[in-house]
Every structure is written in structure tokens, then in C-alpha cells.
Structure 1
Amino acid sequence: METKLVYKAISAVAAELATQGIQKHRHQGSQVNYAFRGIDAVYNALAPALVKHGLLILPRCTERTSCERTSKNGGALFYITVRAEFDFVSTEDGSIHTVATYGEAMDSGDKATNKAMSIAYKYAAFQAFCIPTEETAIDADAEAHQVKPADADQILSEFTQYASAESDGKKLQEHYAVTWKRLNGFPAQQAKCQDVTGIRIKELKQAV
């Protein structure tokens, strides 16, 4: 059985990073004060090793979801989740191994998608090359956002608007199940949510 050289290249890159690692830099600000590794640090550490051992990392995003949240101060925050696949390709024989990861990020401007993609890349590299890390769970590209908890009445209002426009009964029931869980602890709003769903389903059956 012919050996795929991509695995040899991944192992060689991992061997270099196991000794030199990726240095953390400390960010100090009003919201965060901890050590983290930014995407630039990952690129700077990886680039020479990838070139040396003939390994390419070719990314593509296969999924993206977006929702808007409210910050503690009342501003808009855009919350993005991406699913990315990274083809690790040997330049010697063209053999490929694909790694898939997710990235999540929030931003008040237009950078949330870029941040999510960067985080997906970082963790693909951390896991594929077994890069020594600490506090990997505390990583938001040096940013932390405080999100205002969703108000039960607001959730109910949004669902009511959605239900009035939804013409697919199955989708309506799926959305209802999700909203019901979000309203946990608010029985009055849950009951109203159930009533809205029942009325809309009855309307859809009558329209058939």
C-alpha cells in the first residue's frame, strides 16, 4: 500500500511546533486581560514550517449562520458561526487530508465572519499539529462581548411575527419547539407561544 506523504509532512510540521510552540502575547484593556494567540502568531509560526516540509493548507467555508444580539450597552452585536474545511495537501505527491472545524465570533461591525474564520483556522492548526496551548477555551481574538439576556416578551413577539408569515406547518412546529425551550422559566409566555402556534396551524389547515 502506497504511503501518502501528506501524513509525513503533517508529522514533520508538528515536530517543529512541538519544540518552538506559539508564544502568547498579553492584551490589556477594559474588557479583557489575559494571554492569547492571535491569528498572526499562528501564521508566523506555521508559514516557515509549511514551506520547509512541503505542506499546503487550503481552506473553504461550507456553512455560515448569523444572528443579531444586543450588547450590554444596547448596541447591535453580530454573532457568526462558520464551518470550515481545510485541505492539508502534500506538494510532493498531491495527497490530501481534510480537517473540519467550527469558528464562532461576535463583532459590532463587519468583522465577525473574518474572526470566525480565523478561529476555525487556528483550532484546525492546534488540533492537527498538536500545538501546545493553555487556556484554549479563553479565546475570542482578544475580544470579549457582554450580551444582554433576551427578554421573554421579545422572544414571544419575534415568534408571533414569524408564525404569522410561516406557511409550512412542519417548520412552524420545529420553530415552536426551539422557542418553547428559550422561554423556559416563563410559563405565561410559553402558554401564549403554544396558543399562537395552535391558531396558526389551524389557519394553515383551513387554507388547504
Structure 2
Amino acid sequence: MKVYKAISMVAKDMAEQGISKDRRNAQQGFNFRGIDQVYNALAPALVRHGLLILPRITERIVTERTTQKGAVLFYVVVKAEFDFVSTEDGSKHTVTTYGEAMDSGDKATNKAMSIAYKYAAFQAFCIPTEETAIDADSEVHNVAPLNPDQLLSAFTEFAGRATGEKELKDEYAKAWAALSGYPEHQEKCKDVTGIRIKELKQPA
């Protein structure tokens, strides 16, 4: 399988040339590498060593959040799979990463996809990074805490996606604690958990 040799050769190039960290997060005072810098550094090495990176988004979750000033933010999480494919023999290896980002407009998904790609590259090719270098960190969002209704809604949404009883119970314990002082919400949380557990126990 020549895909691993190709990955190794690209990693060697990245170790020798690196990727400059010249983008600056002025609000929090650190430098980071932008996604365009990663593309520009990787593209020649990928062509030179016959390696393709083919992305595939398998999950996308969008949540609306509110800043302390009352503005709406879209918080997006994507689960992405990247097939690293050798052009010589067609052999491949799949890397899975997650990307998370916030935006007040229509760019949150694009940001999350870029972050997923960037960290897949960082990890697969062992590109050194001194700090958390994600594009979304070039912006800072002060998010207001969720109110009880939002907490219950978020838990209900999670419960509907849960595929295992243990993960559901773990999240239920967190939600119950977060809803301390709101017994009606806690009871609804308990009801949702009970219903979902019954659903999970039903034969497929």
C-alpha cells in the first residue's frame, strides 16, 4: 500500500519547510496558521508525492447561541472524513476529525470544515504547532449562558441523537445538575431520558 509512503514523504517535506505562523489574533495575543497557508504549503507536496486528500462531511450540527450583547451566533460542529489516496496504486487511509466554529452570518460551516481539514493535516503529517491554531480563534465571542429552556432543548436534541444508553445517562446527569433549582425542567429532562431509553431497548 503506497499511500503510507506518500503520507510519509509529505510529512518529510512539511518537517523541512514547515508552515509559517504569521497570522495574529489581536484580541488574545497569539499567532496562528490560516487555512490558506496550509493549502499553499501542502499543495506542491501532495502533487509531488502523488497523494490526494478527498473530504467527506458525515455529520453537521447547528446551534443558535446569543452573545452577551444580544446578537445571534451560529455554532456549527462538523464530523469530517478525509480519504488520503495514493495516485500510484489507489490505496487509501481515512482520517476522521471534527471542526467547530461560530459565526454571526453564513460562514460558520465553512469555518468548521476548514478547521477539520487543517487538523487532519496537522495530525496526519505531524506538522508542529505551538498553540491552538484554529481559524475561528481569530475571533472571540462572549456567549451568554443558556437559560433553563435552552438547556432542556439542547438535552432533548442530544437525546434524540443518542445511540447508547451510557452516553445518554452521562449527558442526563450533566443536564440534571445544570438545571438545579428548576425542578419542572429536571422532571421533563427525566421524562425525555426515560422515553429515549425505552426506544433504544426496542429491537431494530
Answer whether TM exceeds 0.5 for this pair: yes
* CA separation of 1:183 and 1:152: change in aligned 2, threshold 3 A: farther
Deviations 1:33-92 (A, max 9, x none): 320111000000000100111111000001111111111211111111111010111111
Q: Paired residue for 1:54, among 50, 53, 61?
A: 50
* CA separation of 1:26 and 1:188: change in aligned 2, threshold 3 A: same
Q: Where do 1:1-208 residues align within 5 Å?
A: 4-27=1-24, 29=26, 31-136=27-132, 140=136, 142-152=138-148, 155=151, 158=153, 178=171, 181-182=174-175, 184=177, 187-189=180-182, 191-196=183-188
Aligned length: 187
Deviations 1:98-147 (A, max 9, x none): 11111011111111111000000000000000011110266525222111
Tell me, which stretches of 5 or more residues in structure 1 are unaligned? 163-173, 202-208
State TM-score, norm by structure 2: 0.78
SS at match of 1:100: strand
1:69–1:76 Cα contact (<8 Å) kept: yes
Output the CA distance in 1 between the equivalents of 2:33 and 2:145: 29
User: In the TM superposition, what is the alpha-carbon distance from 1:13 to its structure 2 partner?
Assistant: 0.5
2:180–2:186 Cα contact (<8 Å) kept: no
Question: What percent of counterpart residues are identical?
Answer: 63
SS at match of 1:35: strand
> Cα RMSD between the aligned structures?
3.1
Matched AA of 1:44: N
SS at match of 1:184: helix
Deviations 1:156-190 (A, max 9, x none): 6x58xx7xxxxxxxxxxx9898466335265330x
Q: Which has the larger radius of gyration?
A: 1
Matched AA of 1:144: V
Matched AA of 1:187: S
State TM-score, norm by structure 1: 0.77
Output the CA distance in 2 between the equivalents of 1:199 and 1:22: 51
Matched AA of 1:48: P
Matched AA of 1:142: S
* CA separation of 1:187 and 1:133: change in aligned 2, threshold 3 A: closer
User: In the TM superposition, what is the alpha-carbon distance from 1:27 to its structure 2 partner?
Assistant: 2.4
